[in-house]
Amino acid sequence: MNETSRYVSQLIELDDEVKFELSKKIKIFIENKDKFQKFSILHFIPDAHKKGGRYMQSISQIDKFDSIKNKITLSNKREIEIKNIIEIKGVKKES
């Protein structure tokens, strides 16, 4: 495919209130990750060649959180920078 004709999306800029609420939600999920069966995370993946990228939904368990690099690693080893997450939902484990 010709590089100039390949479509890429732009990163959605969240307003400060949405960022704050999302940050609180991510913190709660990370602190309580063992109470959830899995997570659905909508996140941006930057393109290696062009400005922009694509959005992807990852469904997995959170394996760890790196506070220095500000990213999470999923159980499938995918790493996601916190700044690229635009939505996260958790599915609680059944009792």
Tell me, what's the pLDDT at 11? 83
Interval 63-95: pLDDT, tens? 999 989 999 999 999 999 999 999 999 988 886
The CA distance from 15 to 12, in Å, is 10
Pair of tokens at residue 34: 């063992």
pTM: 0.83
Walk across the sheet containing 71-74 and list its strands: 62-66, 71-74, 79-81
